[in-house]
Amino acid sequence: MTRRASDDFSIQIAPSHERLLDLASTDRSNPFLTPEYANIRAGQGEVPLILQSDISGTPSQTIGFLRFGRTRRSLHIPSAPPVESDSSFWSAVADMRERTRLTEVSVDSFGSLHRAESPPSSFSNVIHRSEFLIRADDTELRLRVSSGHRRNINKAVRANAVVHERNDALACDIHAAVVHSALSRRRGRGEVIDFNPDPDLFSPLVLGGLGRIFQVELEGKVVASGLFLFAETGAYFHTGGTTDAGHSIGASPFLVCAVVDGFRGTSRTVLNLGGARTSETGLSQYKREFRSVPRELVSYRWESYGLLRRVMNACTHHLPPIRAWS
């Protein structure tokens, strides 16, 4: 079903597979625009929709997902379209927000080409972040990385570490545990991280055919794990981490280079190492040391809750943590 919100903006609800393929063709390296990703989100109870603007005869389109709950109605756009901050696309999204009485709108920039320098006036919260791209067909990546990454790769080689691909439910559980170990180290260094890994986040991506998990093993134990999302000509490093043992032998850069080695002879020419917020200087530096090309991006948030939701949030805010209830 297509609804034309204005002369230059339309919304297509629950698009067909053919329409999703058409969207994916606009950026064949972006897994967040693929039919597989849309089907995974739909399987989680969300409603896919394609938002398209035709400004000066040039169409810009992306996919969004609606979710409805008792006290919230949210729209999430995972990959912002490549339009300017003053584009009528954003005013049309704001108009849609009012018409459908949305309580939350989130616009992320995963794999996006959107580089607006100033936020659209309809969004109150702006997140500055960067993503880092490397050539997936670079046969000399191990030689181009920083000296620190080369030392770590050599450590892993000397330790006889090996990389395996596993794409089952157990691999998702192990991946979540390894990512949790890595985040605990970062929090121990004083970093503030609001992400908590959960196998239920990873398993739909893997079992739905979009994601693949690569893991480094040392003496039969997984010491590093990476989840990569795949598109026709590119891949996106979704999440990754190492255990303490993996960290000590430099398993992380070893894993990335091994995955890139596997791209040889395929159609994939770019690996997006994922993003880092402006405040995550250590993570940014790690990704830069692959001699990657940074892409400056922004994400947006907007929230507006009714009286009932505000009261519920206030009550929840004053409750003790769950661990204190036992």
Q: Residue 236: give its domain's CATH number.
A: 3.40.630.30
**Identity of the amino acid at 192:** V
Question: Does residue 194 surpass a pLDDT of 50?
Answer: yes
Question: 108: which 2 tokens?
Answer: 């992320």
Residues 149 and 262 occupy one common structural domain: yes
Q: Residues 230, 259: contact at Cβ < 8 Å?
A: no
Q: Is residue 285 part of a domain?
A: no
pTM of the full structure: 0.88
Residues 12 and 104 occupy one common structural domain: yes
Question: 39: which 2 tokens?
Answer: 């089907």
Q: Is residue 280 part of a domain?
A: no
Q: Which of 129, 125, 123, 84 is nearest to 110 (CA)?
A: 129
Task: Tell me the pLDDT of the chain averaged across its residues.
Answer: 87
Q: Give the C-alpha distances (Å, rounded to integers) separating 76 from 30, 32, 41, 46, 201.
A: 17, 12, 11, 10, 16
Q: How many domains does the chain have?
A: 2
264 confidence band (pLDDT: 50, 70, 90): confident
- DSSP class per residue in 49-71: EEEEEEETTEEEEEEEEEEE-SS
Q: Is residue 230 part of a domain?
A: yes
Residues 244 and 148 occupy one common structural domain: yes
Q: Is residue 107 part of a domain?
A: yes
Residues 159 and 256 occupy one common structural domain: yes
Exposed (0-12), middle (13-18) or buried (19+): which is 7, by Cβ within 10 Å? Answer: exposed
Q: What's the first-to-final CA gap in the chain, in angstroms? A: 49
**Beta strands 270-277 and 234-242, pairing class:** parallel
Residues 243 and 173 occupy one common structural domain: yes
Q: Is residue 277 part of a domain?
A: no
Q: Is residue 27 part of a domain?
A: yes
Reported as a single tens digit per residue, the pLDDT across 131-151 is: 999 998 888 899 899 999 999
Reported as a single tens digit per residue, the pLDDT across 204-218 is: 999 999 999 999 999
The range of the structural domain enclosing residue 184 comes to 137-268
Which of 67-81, 180-194, 236-250 bottoms out in mean pLDDT, i.e. has the lowest?
180-194
Chain centre to alpha carbon of residue 148? 26
pLDDT of 139 reads 82
Residues 112 and 159 occupy one common structural domain: no
